[in-house]
Amino acid sequence: MPGLTPKQEAFARRYVQTGNASDAYRFAYDAANMKLATVNRAAHDLVTNSKIAARVQDLQDAQLAAVDVSAEDIVRVAWEIANAKDASHGSRVSALALLAKRHHEFSDKHEIDSSVRLQAMQAVATMSSDQLLALVSGLDGAD
């Protein structure tokens, strides 16, 4: 990027790689005789420099674009694994589990319509004692 020195460019690249400004500073500059507090302050100054911050953003955007994966890509690969004859059983099951998450029927979270809940409560409220006892005993025997 125009306007950055080679050391600033090296700092920006290392910062994007590590996420650690002090490490990036020590990588790009001679900090052997510097105190830790001095390195930290100098690194902070570089991170907040508008030209360097813009370069860091450009590098991060390029990184994201290089590894951008769409949901369609994931589904396609999962489907290929699920159908692969040479894939291990565990891989195929994991791929199918991932694909199943796309369908409500296989979700761990099932929502009950409030009108259905109200109907169930009304039905229980109108039951006789004998019907309630039969219901409870039926539930006890379900285990």
Q: How confident is the model at residue 140 (pLDDT cuts 50, 70, 90)?
A: low
Site of tokens 């929502």: 111
Whether the CB-CB separation of 11 and 52 falls below 8 Å is answered with yes
CA distance 91 to 89: 6
Quick one: tokens of 136? 């409870």
Q: What is the pLDDT of residues 85-109, one digit of tens each?
A: 898 888 888 888 888 877 766 666 6
How deeply is 47 buried, as exposed, middle or buried, from its count of CB atoms within 10 A (0-12, 13-18, 19+)? middle
State the pLDDT at residue 65: 80
Q: How confident is the model at residue 141 (pLDDT cuts 50, 70, 90)?
A: low
CA distance 96 to 125: 42
